[in-house]
Chain A
Amino acid sequence: MIDVYRALFVGQIQAASQYRVQSILWMLFAVIRPVIFLAAWVAVAGAQGGRVGSYDVRDFAAYYVALSLVANLATSWNSYEFEFEIRMGRLSPKLLRPLHPIHYAVVENIVWKMTTIIPMLIVLSFIAATFDARFRSTSAHLALFVPSVVLGAALAFLAGWVVATTAFWTTRVHAVATLWDRAAFIFAGQIAPLALLPGPLQTIALVLPFGYMLGVPAEILQGAVDVPTAIVLISVQAVWVVIFYALLQVVWRVGVRQYTGVGA
């Protein structure tokens, strides 16, 4: 399997190198939304004497810088890609090879993240400096951030595949994926840090998986939660990963039987 991955990585890096500019543009596009929210919260905080709940302007800056980094590392677009692959018949040859199609997506995902991480860090450093971001994280937070962001990425990826698999039934997964993304927008910590969501929404966010993809790793990186809480949150992330892994096994097995090789 290591050899397969090495070969897939080489191929994918070559393919990605053809689209460097496009990658950078996508990355910048992904940063715009958090920056807008950051600017909005800065304005709100300014109007309320510098604070909203436990967050001041510098905390917001740290949170949205952390969230942008996590979003870059943990978001996956596979459900959109997958629909395209099914409609264009590109999935068929992959299904007929002795390698599960998910592995190509894993590699694509990781390569995309590798090619955008450096420019991303430069942009985020600039934003952090501009807004004077204050990170409260200790070295323990930084150590915990690594497993947390890996689990967040795994969870977003697996959940994305579960959503994508609905394409076996509908062939049009866009609507489902968009609905999913809208839910993530509210509950993953993009519109506001989870700690600032109104009571009931916060409870819902803690029960749903979305926050464990982005918000939780961002809060750990920012140092917004203490170390014991971080460990609990990471455990919950791990549970969600196991749940979505199991769910994917089931929906894939059933879905692939539905597959009619459309357009293939």
Chain B
Amino acid sequence: MTDAVVEVRDLRKTFRVSERQEGLAATLRSFVRRQRRDINAVAGITFGIEAGEVVGFLGPNGAGKTTTLKMLSGLLYPTGGEARVLGFVPWRRENAYLQQMTLLMGNRTQLVWDIPAADSFRVLQEIYRVPEDSFRKTVGELTELLELQELVHKPVRNLSLGERMKVEFAAGLIQSPRVAFLDEPTIGLDISMQVRIRRFVAEYNRRTGATILLTSHYMDDVVALCKRVIVIHHGQLLYDGPLADLAERMAPFKVIVATLHDGAAADLSVYGTVVARDEGRITLKVDRQIAPERAARLVNDLGDRLTDISVEDPPIEEVIDRVFSGERVGTAP
């Protein structure tokens, strides 16, 4: 294995679940004899993450993202394969490892509901044995970055979801972890709170050089934070590389948007597949290789009728959606 901060080789996790049909008879039968089925949540994935990287971990619900994060943080024992984080085998849960790592789950709380966060921070300070001066410095920075001044002295149960999430972030970072696993850190938050959390994660990574692996269903999180993404589906790795190349690899077409004076009447189907038409604004899907040539022809042929034209990668959501729906090799004329 390399010197990477996170090293994963052929990691697997199989869950055994009991199943039964609906209805009383099936319920009674299940008392006597249980039907069990193995689910390969993670079916052998291999990757590495270097120090200071922010990597987006993408996949549809049930792809195995959270299971992988749980194994890497030490919560779950794998069924097979190897992993090392900061040189530790995570599921041994050695204190030396736990002190340098955090797992933040957007939909879970780790603070004590009935007391103000500031008091929970003190408890965490002792648990993680953070010296007083570093504690003050870290809390000061987190308070500033996350704008927590007003929030830390209220009982956690009196905070709104967004406020609580910010405080949860601070609580998860009291020990200044070198590795952070973030599972849906912006789930359920409004747009402005999402933007703040995103900005915070980027700034935190810049200031501390922490390595971050995050999952999110909001592609904006990924676009804003991750240069690199790892895509998994059905527990298997589909793509690992720069976010910028994902569209190129996974969607072999570009989108040309042409705006015409008299667009409502124009027929541009000879240049590519018309996928949308909004008054004079026409969106075409064109094979990646020939996109520049088609755009040039459009400019040439339409001349003054054209008021605007752009050639873009398809929206990242669309790329991901295609990957997950099995349409990886999108065809275009």
Contact = CB atoms under 8 A, between A and B. Distances in A.
B111 to A, nearest CB: 9
B185 to A, nearest CB: 15
B75 interface: yes
B77 interface: yes
Given A18-B114, A95-B75, A95-B93, A264 B127 contact: no
A92 B104 CA distance: 11
B119 A260 contact: no
Main secondary structure of the interface of B (DSSP, over half): mixed
Which of A19, A89, A259, A264 gathers the greatest number of chain B CB atoms within 10 Å?
A264
B132 to A, nearest CB: 11
Nearest to A3: B126
B112 interface: yes
A80 to B, nearest CB: 18
Contacts of A8: 123, 126
Contact of A15 (B102, B109, B115): B115
Interface residues of B, number: 33
A259 B99 contact: no
Contact of A260 (B15, B110, B129): B15
B73 interface: yes
Interface in B141-164: 155
A172 to B, nearest CB: 13
A4 interface: yes
Contacts of B21: none
B289 interface: no
Contacts of A99: 127
B105 to A, nearest CB: 7
A7 interface: yes
Nearest to A98: B95
B201 to A, nearest CB: 19
A264 B70 contact: yes
Contacts of A95: 74-75, 93
A100 B166 CA distance: 26
A94 B95 CA distance: 12
A96 B93 contact: yes
- Give 5 nearest A-B pairs by CB, closest first: A93-B110, A98-B95, A7-B126, A15-B114, A98-B98
Interface of A: 3-4, 6-8, 10-11, 14-15, 18-19, 89-90, 92-99, 257, 259-261, 264
Interface of B: 15, 70, 73-77, 93, 95, 98-99, 101-103, 105, 108-110, 112-115, 119-120, 122-129, 155
Given A3-B126, A95-B74, 6 more contacts: A6-B126, A7-B126, A18-B114, A90-B110, A257-B77, A264-B105
